[in-house]
Chain A
């Protein structure tokens, strides 16, 4: 039978891809190419801060998400379903709620934040570490889920053989499971980093919008939009370009 797409389905599919494409076309049209370089250098602080925050958050998310993914993939413990639900929550949670929750817990008067303030004299709101925490919070689920799927795909029989060759659990994890899951872990790290880079709601709610400390690119775009929309378009285009690069790189790791 010849395969074909029914007209109605084809029409809706076209509208769908249009909805996804039109905004980028608009962005390209409105980008002020003549002052593009100038906008970029003026926003150097936000760009640098975004790099620092997103890379730090990605590192935190990998450091915590890989062990968490391992526990979910291989661990046998009670309440595993609950743990997985907690991991998934930040993905479905509105970021502004995530930021509010972070404020309530890690803020100056939060039940954890107040202790940290008393013991170390450190507070997170309006600081770069605060922005990193917010970005880590939203990035961690992505890294965890991709890591879990990666570890699940590793054939356990190789780890069994490693055990019969005298390797303890740490050596089996490091020499067998980790290298075998490496492509998935890399994909998870890239995905987590991309999520951290785009983070807006939780950051602005928890860490605030402080130039040079917590004002990352997405925050800069939002606030530029109210004063200088042209600059916002320039900065937006940077993030689109970065996203496309991430997609190309990550696809290579996923689709194999």
Chain B
């Protein structure tokens, strides 16, 4: 178990984070660039000293600014896979892994076999693809047998064609590893695919923590809403009727009152050319301002009383064009409203 309650102050940047990560879970740390994600990992690894607070793994205190405890990285049971992998260019793949096993080549070979990399043992890192290099870096970090495994954007240097395969490998390996596993990413899909729990770091603080489902239904910030791709509003609610800041109202199925956040998944937003029939509680007229294709669907932005993004099927999208006047309808049960 990793217990973190730390503060890092630098000239240009402050980071405060407190959380506990258990041995049986994979935690994703997501956040925009410059949010402090890498600084958090470096602090845990012992590469960045704390200004205040402490880091402990189980009963072992790794760092405690108040008590003047600061173990160097080599005395922390940690495995760190940095963004660029950073394999040692002057050593072969197996020598890189053996660096973490104190020169034990046999043990290093076992790790390469576990990741299906034994064919690469003799070659130099310069000849590896981005995905292979990342997996070797993972094997090297695992080979130390760490209590805490830290991965910084493990997919960043993997080209798109290999991404799915490497992600599957990464997921399988992380699932098998008995350690606290902390993975930094800015990709919600990656976090959803691999992690059990998500910490959102923004501006040097943890702004939200929860499962991906919780983030989708209850985004606490525009950043999280953008990350998971849902519509995000703030307003004042009276028994489920939300008067949105900046204009417009939303009916929610949830009987909340006071300052609230309201979130609507784009797939719950229906578009019509004629006034919709049936009983949706939220209906308004708007004008299509942007059409953005994604893989199997189209994201349509509609400006009206409220600005909303709808996801429609490709078939449906052929009928709308920018500038079209449309009706927007959302069922009240699809509007998630919760106190700020």
What is the interface of chain A, defined by CB distance below 8 A to chain B? 157-158, 160-168, 175-176, 179-180
Which residues of chain B come closer than 8 Å to A166, judged between CB atoms? 74, 100, 102, 144
On chain B, the number of residues with a Cβ less than 8 Å from chain A's Cβ atoms is: 21
Q: A167-B74, A180-B90 are in contact. Are A161 and B82 (CB under 8 A)?
A: yes
Interchain CB contact under 8 A, A162 and B47: no
Which residues of chain A come closer than 8 Å to B102, judged between CB atoms? 166
Interchain CB contact under 8 A, A167 and B99: yes
Q: A157-B82, A160-B47, A160-B73 are in contact. Are A165 and B99 (CB under 8 A)?
A: yes
Interchain CB contact under 8 A, B45 and A176: no
Partner of B79, one of A160, A164, A167, A179: A164
- Tell which of A163, A167, A168 has the most Cβ of chain B within 10 Å: A163
**B219 contacts the other chain (CB 8 A):** no
Interchain CB contact under 8 A, B86 and A163: no
Given contacts A164-B73, A166-B74, 9 further A-B contacts (CB under 8 A): A161-B80, A161-B82, A163-B72, A164-B47, A164-B79, A164-B80, A165-B140, A166-B102, A167-B74
Closest chain B CB from A161 CB (angstroms): 5
Closest chain B CB from A256 CB (angstroms): 14
- CA A113 to CA B245, docked complex, whole Å: 86
Q: What are 20 A-B contacts defined by CB distance under 8 Å?
A: A157-B84, A160-B47, A160-B73, A161-B86, A162-B88, A162-B99, A163-B46, A164-B45, A164-B46, A164-B80, A164-B141, A165-B79, A165-B100, A165-B144, A166-B74, A166-B144, A167-B99, A168-B74, A175-B99, A179-B90
Interchain CB contact under 8 A, B88 and A176: yes
- CA A176 to CA B99, docked complex, whole Å: 10
**B263 contacts the other chain (CB 8 A):** no
Interchain CB contact under 8 A, A157 and B86: yes
Which residues of chain A come closer than 8 Å to B88, judged between CB atoms? 158, 162, 176
Interchain CB contact under 8 A, B86 and A164: no
- CA A167 to CA B103, docked complex, whole Å: 11
Closest to B78 in A: A164
- CA A166 to CA B141, docked complex, whole Å: 10
Closest chain B CB from A168 CB (angstroms): 5
Q: Mark B36-51, 1 if CB is under 8 A from A, else 0.
A: 0000000001110000
Q: Mark B68-82, 1 if CB is under 8 A from A, else 0.
A: 000011101011101
Closest to B79 in A: A164
Partner of A163, one of B74, B82, B140, B141: B74
Closest chain A CB from B157 CB (angstroms): 14
From 208 to 238 in chain B, residues with beta carbon under 8 angstroms from any chain A beta carbon are none
Closest to A182 in B: B90
The 9 residue pairs across chains A and B that have the minimum distance between CB atoms? A163-B73, A164-B80, A165-B100, A164-B73, A179-B90, A161-B86, A166-B74, A163-B74, A160-B47
Which residues of chain A come closer than 8 Å to B79, judged between CB atoms? 164-165
Closest chain B CB from A215 CB (angstroms): 43
